[in-house]
Amino acid sequence: MYKIGNQIGQETVHNPASVHPVTSPLTGQVIGEVSYADPAMIDRAVAKAREAQRQWAQLTYKKRSEVLFAMRQQLQAHEDELAQIITQENGKSLAESRAAVAKAIELCEFAVSIPALIAGKTEIVSTGIEVKEMTFPVGVLACITPFNFPLMVPMWTIPNALVCGNAVILKPSEATPVTAMKIAELFAQAGLPDGLLSVVNGEKEVVEALCDHPGIDALTFVGSTPVAKLVYKRATSNLKRCLAMGGAKNHILVTDEVNPEIVAKEITSAAYGMSGQRCMAASVVLAIGHCGAVIDQIIAISKQMVAGRDCPPLISRKAVEKIGQYLDQTPGTVVVDGRRAMVEGDPNGYYIGPSVILYDTIDAMPEEEVFGPTLEIIQVATLEEAIAYQNRSPYGNGASIFTDTGLYAQEASLGLSSGMLGINIGVPVPRDPFSFGGLKGSKFGYGDITGYGSLPLLTTTRKVTTKWNPKDKKDWLS
Ligand code: NAD
Same domain assignment for residues 200 and 337? no
What pLDDT shows up at residue 477?
76
- Per-residue pLDDT, averaged over 30-59, amounts to 98
202 shares a domain with 119: yes
Collapse the DSSP code of 216 into the 3-class scheme (helix H, G, I; strand E, B; otherwise coil) and give the result.
Answer: coil
Distance 228 CA to ligand 1 centre (A): 7
Neighbours of 406 (CB within 10 A): 9
The CA 59 to ligand 1 mean position distance, Å, reads 34
CA distance 350 to 90: 11
Q: Which of 145, 173, 230 for mutating ligand 1's site (highest number of atoms within 8 Å of CB)?
A: 173
Domain-embedded: residue 72: yes
Task: Choose the residue to mutate in 148, 149, 277 for probing ligand 1, maximizing ligand atoms within 8 Å of C-beta.
Answer: 148
Q: What is the pTM of this model?
A: 0.96
- With a 6 Å cutoff on the Cβ, whether 206 touches ligand 1 is no
Q: What is the pLDDT of residues 183-196, one digit of tens each?
A: 999 999 999 999 99
Helix ranges, 273-378 (H): 292-304, 317-329
Q: Give tens-digit pLDDT for 322-355.
A: 999 999 999 999 999 999 877 887 889 999 999 9
Order the strands of the 282-288 sheet from edge to edge.
Answer: 333-336, 355-359, 374-380, 282-288, 250-255, 398-402, 420-423
Q: Residue 340: how many CB atoms within 10 A of its CB? A: 11
pLDDT at 426: 96
DSSP 8-class letter at 454: G
Same domain as 213, residue 257: no
**pLDDT in the model for residue 380:** 96
Section 233-237 average pLDDT:
98
Q: How many domains does the chain have?
A: 2
- For residue 29, pLDDT over 70 is answered with yes
Has residue 170 been placed in a domain? yes
Whether ipTM tops 0.95, in short, is yes
- If you average pLDDT over residues 359-387, what whole number do you get? 94
Say if residue 226 is in the same domain as residue 264. no
Domain identity same for 184 and 168: yes
Residues 388, 350 share a domain: yes
H/E stretch holding 266 reads helix 260-272
pLDDT band at residue 120, thresholds of 50, 70 and 90?
A: confident
Tell me the CATH number at 174: 3.40.605.10
Residues 239 and 254 in one domain: no
Residue range(s) defining the domain that contains residue 188: 2-246+442-463
| Residue nearest atom 40 of ligand 1, based on CA coordinates | 245
**429: in domain:** no
* Percent of the chain residues topping a pLDDT of 70: 100
Atom 24 of ligand 1 has which residue's CA nearest to it? 146
Residue 214: cis peptide before it, omega within 30 degrees of 0:
no
**Residue 332: CB atoms within 10 Å:** 18
Atom of ligand 1 nearest to the CA of 225: 32
Write down the mean pLDDT value for the chain: 96
Q: What is the arithmetic mean of pLDDT over 31-57?
A: 98
Q: How confident is the model at residue 119 (pLDDT cuts 50, 70, 90)?
A: confident
Share of the chain above pLDDT 90, in %: 93
Residue 71 pLDDT level (bands cut at 50, 70, 90): very high
* Whether residue 417 sits in one domain with residue 273: yes
Q: Which of 304-313, 338-347, 349-358, 417-426 has the lowest mean pLDDT?
A: 338-347
Pick the residue whose CA is nearest to atom 15 on ligand 1. 204
Query: Which contacts of 60-67 are long-range, i.e. CB under 8 A and separated by 24 or more positions?
Result: 60/115, 61/114, 61/115, 61/118, 61/163, 61/164, 61/165, 62/115, 64/162, 64/163, 64/165, 65/111, 65/112, 65/114, 65/115, 65/163, 66/191, 67/162, 67/187, 67/190, 67/191, 67/192
In this structure, is residue 433 part of a structural domain? no
Query: Is residue 212 one of the residues assigned to a domain?
Result: yes
Does residue 434 belong to any structural domain of this protein?
no
According to DSSP, the β-strands at 250-255 and 398-402 are parallel
Q: Which residues are catalytic?
A: 279
Q: From the CA of 431, how far away is ligand 1's center (Å)?
A: 22
pLDDT given for residue 345 in this prediction: 78
Q: Is residue 10 part of a domain?
A: yes
- pLDDT of 478 reads 66
Confidence at 87, pLDDT banded by 50, 70, 90: very high
For residue 290, the model assigns a pLDDT of 95
Mean pLDDT of 245-267: 97
- Say what the pLDDT of residue 99 is: 97
293 and 240 assigned to the same domain: no
CATH number, position 362:
3.40.309.10
- The answer to whether the CB of 282 falls within 8 A of the CB of 252 is yes
Asked whether 183 lines ligand 1 (CB < 6 A), one says: no
Q: Is 474 inside a domain boundary?
A: no
308 and 200 both lie in a single domain: no
Give the model's pLDDT for residue 341: 79
Mutate to test the pocket of ligand 1, among 169, 207, 213, 317 (most ligand atoms within 8 A of CB): 207
What's the angle, vertex CA 332, arms to CA 334 and CA 379, rounded to 5?
A: 100
Mark whether 242 and 258 lie in a shared domain.
no
* 452 & 350 share domain: no
